[in-house]
Structure 1
Amino acid sequence: MTQSPFAALREQLSDAAAAFAGTPGALSGILSGMVDDVDRALGEQLEIFPVCHHSPGSALAMARRLRDKQPEVIYLELCEDLRPVLDELRNCRLPVSLQAFATELDGFPDAWGPLSVVAPITEASAEYQAIAYALDTPGVELVLVDRSADHVFQWSPQEQPDQPADAVGMEIGDLRPRFAELEEHLLHHGKVRHWSEWWDQYVEQPLAGADYDTYRQVMVLIGSLFRRLGPDDAGRLARDEDRERYMWTRMREHLATSGADPERCLYVCGAFHAASRVEEFGLAAERTEFAITPRTATTWLYGIVPASHSAIEEQFGLAGGSVSIAAATFAKAVSRGGVKPYQLKEHASKRPARARKAASPVRREPLADRLSGFLSRPPVLDELDEAELLGWSVDIVRLARRNGYLASTADAIAVFETSILLAGMRNRARPTPYDFQDAAVTCIEKDTVPGRRDVRRLCEILLGGDRIGEVGYTAMPPLAQDVYDRLAPLGFDLKKRAVHRALLDLNADPALAPCSHLLWILHRLLPDGAVRPIMGSRRLGERSVQESWDLALGHHQRALIELGYEGVTVEQVLEQRLRRRVWDPKATAAVALEAVEDAIVFLGSRRLTEELGARAVELLAAERTVDDAPDVLRGIRRLLAHYRATEPALPDWCERFVTTGYAHYCTLLPSAFVAEDIGVRQVAAMLGFLSSMEGLALSLGCDRAQLELAVRQSHPETPGKVALLWGAQFRLGVLPLAELRERCDELLANPLVIPSFPQYISGFVQALEPAPALTPFVVEVISNAFARLPDEVLLPWLPMLITTLRQEAPELVPVLVREAGRTFPGTLAAVDAWVPPWTARPAPRAEARPVVAGGPVAELLAAHPAAIDAVAALLGCEGGWQPLGQAVPSGSGPAGALLTRHPATVTAVAELLGGGATS
């Protein structure tokens, strides 16, 4: 048996563990086990390429290895059902994310939906190099071997949260310590702030110029270390091992069916999985059977969505700017030469395929120990690149000035020197981007941030920025393509990441009406900011003739693409969403009425409107609460007004909604008046429904006695509901206004009631909903309270009144203000002489009967007796006129009696005509 090349290293580590711990034990087992994992992974017949995601070192090593080996089959750790969308990567600008999306679940809890799996792809990643090589090289097959998106959720713990997450991220080469203690130890002794900086200093930089064998051995060693020092999480470890069994099973199946030579294949996986210890590991494994469960009946949709460096960092818990720095490091290494990365070419499939040279026989070099030298050799310190650091320092000062900082040349010098100082304190001769970032924050950012960006963010922009990907037109789903095609008449390239201002004059250019209609639907479906109306509106019975829009579809391309997973057109997506909304178990009648309104405004489908309206009737009849009564009242009022203005007759569902609501609210009214959890606003909305719909309901067969009986059975106790009940009784004619005024006077005269009188006022204001005729009376009540209450009572009482009205009746207060404006005098001078109309009494009749003397008024009336005779006849007076100039006794004749009872009118007419006294 051939001795392992790592025998000497294993023995050396065992001796070191014994010397460190005193006796061989767990530490020795861990160290020797790590060496065994490296020996096992690198000795496998199928070549394993361990990677770390978004690692420029892994990307460079992959590019070199692909050019040297020229493999014919690449097995990639990625969800196997994402393979069809990889061909569309050539039409995209990275970074982007491969996405699997499901809304119609079958086999998963409904609370999990919608399900989404994303796998981000960046240029500075080994997997992109492998994908680009495989897709652009004739005769090379790319096989994805990881579990499907369906299995991702099949293997998820069943105690998933009820609220759906944004997405489950799939990261190739997830390489990070599995528990906080180890990571904290590494960061402390490495003198770094976060994990990304530790990885850059102790892995990326040492491996930048390493050969391929050293790279593989170090990566597997790190993966084995984190695997063996991970937390005792049996569930997570079991899922990781099942993934490894899954991948090896798929690779063996492909080799058996394709007949490919394992020597011409390459297996790309995370370093954590390269150090796997499952029994199914390797082509010569003793155990080769692993039962893969079938997928559920859930329908999965696949596509590509834009991604960004910041989104990737947030999704996978990386430090801010780390992905941008990795991209800048990769670009710098490429510009220096020595390696030529692979890059997908757009529409490469349309070009004639180049003939591929016959692959030469692969001769594997004997495995040699490169770890011993790498671990025992001190790291090579890069020399200071003064030109690079000086350029960074000058550029960050220039960028800081543009963003409002008072930076100067002295700050640039300070950043330069501080970067070198920090690097020396951290045992490196060449400052890294992280050293430069810390120095810039220290030297430039003083006490405040003058603009939107702090210095740390400016450094990220300087070193690469938050690059945002873009999905090409041909790689989009049909819905997104349809949206761009239908908006083409606007004349903008909406795929660009810019905010376009679109001005639509629909009278001058009626051809833009379809664009306007589409924009309103997108405004309804997409998140805020994607399509924002500046001028114009779209409501029931309302259409704008001029509109102005801010369009930022390029910034929200992902949301538009995800709409394509739900349907072929935006109209279909909106229809499906409306149906799901009204058939949701938590749907209410108010929600259904909103859906009906949206269907009328945006879709104009009579069939859908009837369907949603019938559902609204069902929901209203089944409701046992009145929490949504205000929304129901407003919704049905708008719909009835729309149908009365546009249709010859009301739809059948509207009539059934009114009759059902009338009987429903009459039944619930007595209990709602006394229920503590039902507010005055809800009861007022019920009464408003019964009052405003009464005429229509009675014409459709309802009985008014049902409402009268419900009001009689109501016995509220709280002040607001008591006042509301009085308003309802006034509306029904049971309570005269004089008696209602007496009750309010009694309340104001009772000192025990004064503190709660604002609640009575709130109830009266709410009563304006069912009884608008009470508006002058409510103004009278409030005026009397202000007039009669002393300041020591009124001043503490006012805040409560204002708060109560604001909370309970904000939309009814303007009605009171308008009524008060009509009641009170319009000038300050008229206030002193003003007499409230509710306090004015008719003048007592004098014992002597007044007479009407001659004058211009008498002459006017005598010249035109027909007018007065007609008025007298309407009033039921009989008699005739006496000659002009004679006294007319009160009551002698209809005109005389009429003028005698209303002398103020005669006086006003006389003054208007310029006459003197008339009575």
Structure 2
Amino acid sequence: MATETRVFGIRHHGPGSARSLALALERFRPDAILIEGPSDADPLIGYLAAEGMSPPVALLAYQPDSPAKAAFWPFATFSPEWVALRYATENGVAVGFCDLPATVALAVADEPGDRTDPLAILAAAAGYDDAERWWDAIVESASDADIFGAVNEAMAALREHAEHLDGEGAGQESDSAVPVVGSGTAEEDEPVSVESARITVDAHTLRREAHMRQLMRKALKDGARRLAVVCGAWHAPALEGKLGPAAADARMLKGMPKVKATLTWVPWTHSRLASSSGYGAGITSPGWYHHLFTETEQPIARWLTKVAGTLRAHDLPVSSAHIIESVRLADTLATLRGRPLAGLSEVTEATRSVLCDGDETLLRLVSTELVVGEALGTVPDGTPTVPLEADLRAQIKTLRLKQQALERTVDLDLRTDGGLARSRLLHRLRLLGIGWGRLTDSQVRSTGTFRETWTLRWRPELAISIVEASRWGTTLRSAAEAKILDTAQDPDATVGKVASALEEALLADLGGATDGLIARLESVAALDHDVTHLMSALPGLLRIMRYGDVRGTDTAALTRVADSLLVRSCAGLPGVVTGLDAAAAAALRAQIDAVHLALSARDDEWATGTWLSTLATLADRDDVNGAIVGRAVRLLCDAERINGEESGRRLSAALSVGRTAPDKAAWIDGFLGGRGLLLVHDRNLLSLIDDWLCGLDEGQFVATLPLLRRTFGAFESGERQAIGQAVRHGAPTASATGGADYDTGRGVLAMRATAEILGVMG
């Protein structure tokens, strides 16, 4: 029986190509199929029939000793390659990949491929300015088993004009190159003809095609009588017809570099199939293509119904009448343009006009959620993987978490075993650089509640992060412990950095690393004489001591370290507060606030007394930046170490003659510190500030205004209104003195504007 080989030139991730390929394979009935893909991935084909395999998925190849060096080969439900794989699996047909193995692909990953976009050239010749829309109109909207002959013929015509580049010039363009629409080389998308376009085939592409021919020869030699080859349409002309002698292909492949490679299946997403994600063979509308492939009956009506559902989910008024009119408009546009079925261009215009009322913002919403869409595939549990990922899969299953491509928020109650276990898992992943979850700001650690809020989103590239993290251990716990200990052993690690690592270790329940981190913290703290470093470490340690019981962690060993840091901070603080400029004083003030808040939460009499005694020392000095002194007075007042009368006396002294207006404003800024209720309840303090402010001359007022505006602008709107009401009705005001003439009319306008800003106008 004579052998027959058919080459099916497809477009990667094209639903029309996939449907046409399914029809063609049913008609041809091959006994062997070769598919464009890494030839060393053949052992993984058997997993297609396993339970749990659901596209989109991707073949992942990486170097075991350098996991960051990796490559992906994605497949979607509507990918022709996936259709061929499923056909072979379901019909017992021998199947394999025929492209260069991953061991070679990883070694030459830096070599650029062809910059010719054949679809762009054909689209331009047909009068289209968008290759995607041309292919959508001609191929994807219909199914035809005979279309591959026409596609291969068109590609053969293009390759007759192609220039073959040698190994040194592979992927390079000369100065005379003519840009092609969609090729990525044009500054402006101007259609060009076949005659004017520069069409190139680089050396890497020639080697890939040589390897494909070699495997075709092998398949025929092994007994294949009806061989089907599924490859990108651009390669089809190089594989059709007589294969010729193998010697030339062997010489081309000789000496190609290779590296070690490990291959497996990993989940993928629709958004990562999109060309906007940087995927070279990507498409602009994976969600639309998935719909076209899966919805064979009335696809346009079903699509626009889905669009309406999405808009309704966002509380937008869309009725059945809108859907009917949008379907009619899409069909009418297709008829006017001579197309057999409405494509994405027509349904997009119908969506814009009817469902979105011309609102481009709503149209972008539809594009993001539907046209591109989001779907996360799954792979079988038995898929080859590193032990770390196996541990992660087991924990995800036990804790009933779901890997989803769309962002979702989960609230964890740390008082429950399940919530605590999920929190520890997410903290361990974050320590290992596996960014599945992001802890929402303004939650547990800053407020002291028993809840955590996480935003979860699974991304395909996290598979690489897992492989990279596997060098630290075989389980998430052991790997996180090893990594955090290694980080803390950095010779340049500061007290704050080690303290933060210790806090993260306790949040992640890394008991095996706690003792080592505490010992490291003690040694680093003993050698670090920078008071700011010591103070930066204190709040985190005090948080651990306070909330450790909530997480079931033993924090007794931290007390000795925290007390030591507090004593050293209190001893060194008076020496570092001198000679500070405004920026340095603001930074130190923030650290003082953080330590004071943490000590207040600790509620330890000795620690609080030691700290307040240090603040009292600062409050009595006149050689310290006013922002620091004012803050010390305010904290002592809040702690009831000094009363309101004493606060007023100190404020009066700070505003006395002999100090510059900016110094006085800095003192007030430090004293008030973003909280204005003190002025609302203490009319004496408000009167002192009001008297001082009204007594400023024009130059002093202009110099002081920016800082005072920042101070009062930080108050809540209700506080500002209450202060304004107090000034208007309760607090005495100073009378202006001096011989200057004042414009009463302008003053009234200024006072009225001020009253409106403060919100006290009736």
TM-score (norm 1): 0.54
Residue 190 of structure 1: SS of its match in structure 2?
Answer: coil
Give me the whole-angstrom Cα distance separating, in 1, the residues matched to 2:109 and 2:268: 27
Residue type matched to 1:51 in 2?
I
Q: Which residue of 1 aligns with 2:496?
A: 590
From 410, 420, 437, the equivalent of 2:348 is: 437
On the 8 A contact 1:101/1:114 being kept in 2, the answer is yes
**In 1: Cα distance, 2:173 partner to 2:527 partner:** 48
CA contact (8 A) 1:49 1:267 kept: yes
In the superposition, relative to structure 1, how do residues 89 and 105 fare at CA in structure 2: closer, same or farther (>3 Å)?
Answer: same
Please tell me whether the aligned partners of residues 44 and 265 of structure 2 are also in contact (alpha carbons under 8 angstroms).
Answer: yes
Residue in 2 that maps onto 1:849? none
Matches within 5 A, 1:424-573: 424-428=335-339, 430-446=341-357, 448=359, 460=371, 467-475=375-383, 513=417, 515-524=418-427, 556=458, 565=467, 566-567=469-470, 568-573=474-479
Larger Rg: 1
Q: CA RMSD in A?
A: 6.6
Q: Which moved more, 1:438-447 or 1:418-427?
A: 418-427
Deviation at 1:603, TM superposition (A): 1.8
Instruction: State the shift of 1:79 in Å.
Output: 3.6
Secondary structure of the structure 2 residue equivalent to 1:58? helix
* Shift in Å, 1:253: 8.2
Look up the SS of the partner of 1:285 in the other structure: helix
Residues 197 and 224 (structure 1 numbering): CA distance in 2 closer, same or farther, change over 3 Å?
farther
Describe how 1:816-855 pairs up with structure 2 within 5 A. Answer: none
Letter in 1 for 2:666: Q
Cα distance in 2 for residues equivalent to 1:588 and 1:184:
59
Q: Distance in 2 between matches of 1:665 and 1:258?
A: 85
**Structure 1 residues 247 and 686: CA distance shift in structure 2, 3 A:** farther
- The equivalent residue for 2:48 is 89
Instruction: Indicate the residue corresponding to 2:541 in structure 1.
Output: 636
**In the alignment, is residue 196 of structure 1 matched against residue 132 of structure 2?**
yes
> Which of 50, 66, 70 pairs up with 2:9?
50
In structure 2, do the counterparts of structure 1 residues 541 and 153 end up closer, same or farther at CA, with 3 Å as the change threshold? farther
**CA shift for structure 1 position 471:** 3.5
The one-letter code sitting in structure 1 at the alignment partner of 2:354 is C
Please give the per-residue CA displacement for 1:24-65, whole angstroms capped at 9, x wherever unaligned: xxxxxxxxxxxxxxxxxxxx9986543320123432454355
Partner of residue 288 from structure 2, selected from 308, 319, 325:
325
SS across alignment from 1:78: strand
Alignment of 1:616-627 (within 5 A): 616=521
**Residue pairs, 1:104-123, within 5 angstroms:** 106=66, 114-123=68-77
2-side partners of 1:597 and 1:331: how far apart?
50
1:260 pairs with one of 219, 222, 233: 222
Residues 549, 675 of structure 1: CA spacing in aligned structure 2 closer, same or farther, 3 A cutoff? closer
Q: Secondary structure at the match of 1:291?
A: coil
Question: How far did 1:608 drift?
Answer: 0.7
- The secondary structure found in structure 2 opposite 1:749 is coil
Q: Does 1:128 align with 2:82?
A: yes
Asked if 1:760 is matched to 2:714, the reply is no
- The structural deviation recorded for 1:155 is 3.5
1:444-465, CA deviations, whole angstroms, 9 ceiling, x for partnerless residues?
Answer: 322558979856678859xxx7
**Cα 1:258–1:676 shift into 2, 3 Å:** farther
Count of residues in correspondence between the two structures: 652
Q: Is the 8 A contact 2:496 2:537 kept in 1?
A: yes
Question: Within 1, Cα distance between the matches of 2:215 and 2:366?
Answer: 53
For 1:369-380, what aligned pairs fall within 5 Å after superposition? none
Residue 143 of structure 1 deviates from its aligned partner by 3.8
1:511-535 C-alpha deviation (Å, 9 max, x unpaired): x62x33321123435689977999x
Q: Normalized against structure 2, the TM-score is what?
A: 0.63
Select the residue among 241, 261, 272 that pairs with 2:234: 272
Q: Which residue of 2 aligns with 1:361?
A: none
1:475 CA drift (Å)? 4.3
Shift in Å, 1:116: 4.8
CA distance in 2, matches of 1:665, 1:314: 57
Contact in 1 for aligned 2:56/2:270 (Cα 8 Å): yes
Is 2:46 aligned against 1:140?
A: no
Give the Cα–Cα distance (whole angstroms) in 2 for the partners of residues 293 and 750 of structure 1: 81
User: Which residue identity lines up with residue 608 of structure 1 in the other structure?
Assistant: A
Compared with structure 1, are the counterparts of its residues 64 and 114 closer, same or farther at alpha carbon in structure 2 (3 Å cutoff)? same
Q: 1:305 to 1:133 in 2, by over 3 A?
A: same
| 1:325 maps to amino acid | W
Q: Does the 8 A contact of 1:744 with 1:781 survive in 2? A: no
Q: Distance in 1 between matches of 2:496 and 2:274?
A: 40
1:313/1:319 contact within 8 Å kept: yes
Q: Which runs of 5+ in 2 are unaligned?
A: 175-183, 186-198, 600-605, 607-613, 636-643, 720-725, 733-762
- 1:601 matched to which residue of 2? 507
Query: For 1:748, which of 633, 648, 655 is the aligned residue?
Result: 655
CA distance 1:460–1:143, change in 2 (3 Å): closer
* Corresponding position of 1:307: 269
CA contact (8 A) 1:46 1:283 kept: no
**Residues 698-741 of structure 1, C-alpha deviations (whole Å, 9 max, x = no match):** x9xxxxxxx99x99xx997854367689999xxxxxxxx99999
**Where in structure 2 are the equivalents of 1:518-917 lying within 5 Å?**
518-524=421-427, 556=458, 565=467, 566-567=469-470, 568-579=474-485, 581-582=487-488, 588-605=494-511, 607-616=512-521, 631-639=536-544, 650=557, 654=561, 658=565, 662=568, 666=572, 670=576, 673-674=579-580, 678-682=584-588, 685=591, 719-720=626-627, 745=652, 747-750=654-657, 753-763=660-670, 785-786=688-689, 788-791=691-694, 793=696, 800-801=707-708, 803-804=710-711
CA contact (8 A) 1:680 1:720 kept: yes
Q: Secondary structure at the match of 1:789?
A: helix
Q: Distance in 2 between matches of 1:133 and 1:646?
A: 55
Secondary structure of the 2:78 match is coil
- 2:215 paired with 1:245: no
Runs of 5+ consecutive residues of structure 1 not aligned to the other structure: 1-43, 107-112, 159-173, 336-386, 507-511, 694-698, 700-706, 729-736, 767-774, 818-826, 834-919
1:668, CA displacement in angstroms? Answer: 12
